Amino acid sequence: MPIIEVENLSKIYRTQKRLPGLGGAVQGLFNRQYTEVRAVDGVSFNIEEGELVGFLGPNGAGKTTTLKMLSGILYPTSGTVKVMGFTPSERKNEYRRQFALVMGQKNQLWWDLPAQESLYLNKEIYGVSDEAYKHVMDEMTELLQVKKLLGIMVRELSLGERMKFELIASLLHKPRVLFLDEPTIGLDVVAQKNIREFIKDYNRRTKTTIILTSHYMNDIQALCERVVVINQGKKVFDGMLDAVVEQFSQTKLISVTFKNGGVSREQLTSLGEVMELTKVKAVLKVPRENVKKASNAILTDFDVDDINIEEVPIEEVIERMFKEGVK
């Protein structure tokens, strides 16, 4: 039985439409006009226990709104949601003790307290025992390499350090379900890599169910086999990430290093689109069905030192999906 069940979930915001100027303000007092914004529009999906699923979409697609409904922060306009058998909008304490929501742009730690005091406050809020608290703290601070930072004020931590403590705070009560909304936003490359490795290892060890939203495709590629994609509030894809690449990437990249160089652009254009060309290296974008033929021609016609075939960047694939839609 799925641990998360979402059926025809919708969230509609009703906003007043105002005309400009004083006249418009006066008219609005007596004849108000409203517009409806469908932030989420009939979304359905199921997630099994222990899955780590990427939740993708452009800005304004409805990702964060969906996570807020799954966590009980927002009430759905229509549709049903069940998480661990609970209806999130009822906000029962039994439910709230079994999930966590981490938002990369929101803080749950107190800025004017040392990190360890903020974590202890969370421990008391969730009623975590002293023994369990010590075990989680010892394990998490060691894994995330922040044990020496426990006494520092939260406001004095770097963004990457603060995000590590945000993760620890969310995991103190050992939630069965974890919602991660842009957990690596604004972090440098090293911090992003550390957070990704921690999330992947934590999911593997604890079988915690995780839904991850991110605009960094490296996060999705490194962590998620399955993705749910929404656009303009509607679900447009639910399946394996490889299937997205297969459907929306009609080309592959062939990178070639030549032994002696001296290869001209004209010699390569018949094989594919030349994306990069230096004295000793070339990168070609080639239709999938022509990859074998182009590779053989390169190896036959040129003095090749190395050749590599790879998929186009996932960012390009997802962008194409949003533009073309799923067929």
- Residue 327 pLDDT more than 60? no
Average pLDDT over residues 276-288: 88
φ, ψ at 5 (rounded to 5°): -125, 120
So what's the pLDDT on residue 117? 92
Average pLDDT over residues 269-278: 89
pLDDT in tens, 179-206: 998 888 777 788 888 888 889 999 999 9
So what's the pLDDT on residue 81? 95
- Residue 6 pLDDT more than 80? yes
Could you tell me the sign of the dihedral formed by the alpha carbons of 293, 299, 302, 305, in that order? positive
DSSP of 268-319, one letter per residue? HTTTSEEEEE-SSEEEEEEEGGGHHHHHHHHHHHS-EEEEEEEEPPHHHHHH
List Cα–Cα distances, 179 to 63, 151, 162, in angstroms: 11, 27, 18
The rounded distance, in Å, linking the Cα atoms of 293 and 295 is: 5
Confidence of residue 27 (pLDDT cuts 50, 70, 90): low
So what's the pLDDT on residue 241? 85
φ, ψ at 131 (rounded to 5°): -65, -45
Average pLDDT over residues 88-113: 87
Q: Coil, strand, or helix at residue 177? A: strand
DSSP of 72-117, one letter per residue? TSS--SEEEEEETTB-GGG--HHHHTSEEEEETTS--S-TTSBHHH
- Residue 4 pLDDT more than 90? yes
So what's the pLDDT on residue 49? 94
For residue 132, give the amino acid letter.
Answer: A
The rounded distance, in Å, linking the Cα atoms of 42 and 79 is: 7
So what's the pLDDT on residue 237? 86
Q: Coil, strand, or helix at residue 142? A: helix
Q: Give the mean pLDDT of the chain.
A: 86
Length of the chain: 327
Is residue 223 a contact partner of residue 54, using CB atoms and an 8 Å limit?
yes
List Cα–Cα distances, 61 to 176, 183, 267, in angstroms: 26, 18, 44
Confidence of residue 325 (pLDDT cuts 50, 70, 90): low
The b/e string for 224-263 (b: 16+ C-beta within 10 A; e otherwise) is bebbbbbbebbbbbbeebeebbebbbebbbbebebeeeeb
The rounded distance, in Å, linking the Cα atoms of 260 and 252 is: 25
pLDDT in tens, 31-58: 777 788 888 999 999 999 999 999 988 8
So what's the pLDDT on residue 226? 93
For residue 114, give the amino acid letter.
Answer: P
- In the sheet where 281-287 sits, what is the strand order? 273-277, 281-287, 251-258, 304-311
The rounded distance, in Å, linking the Cα atoms of 197 and 144 is: 10
pLDDT in tens, 142-175: 888 888 999 999 889 888 888 889 889 999 999 9
The rounded distance, in Å, linking the Cα atoms of 159 and 115 is: 13
Query: Among 50-59, 82-91, 132-141, 181-190, where is mean pLDDT lowest?
Result: 181-190
- The pairing of strands 177-181 and 209-213 is parallel
User: Of the ranges 81-85, 106-110, 136-140, which is most confident?
Assistant: 81-85
Confidence of residue 215 (pLDDT cuts 50, 70, 90): confident
- Residue 240 pLDDT more than 60? yes
So what's the pLDDT on residue 59? 80
The class that CATH gives domain 250-311 is alpha beta
* Portion of the chain with pLDDT greater than 70, in percent: 94
Confidence of residue 28 (pLDDT cuts 50, 70, 90): low
The rounded distance, in Å, linking the Cα atoms of 170 and 174 is: 8
- Name which residue leads in pLDDT, 299 or 315: 299
Structure token pair of residue 301: 């016609």
pTM, two decimals, is: 0.78
CATH 3.40.50.300 fits 4-245, yes or no: yes
For the chain, which residues make up each domain, given as ranges? Answer: 4-245, 250-311
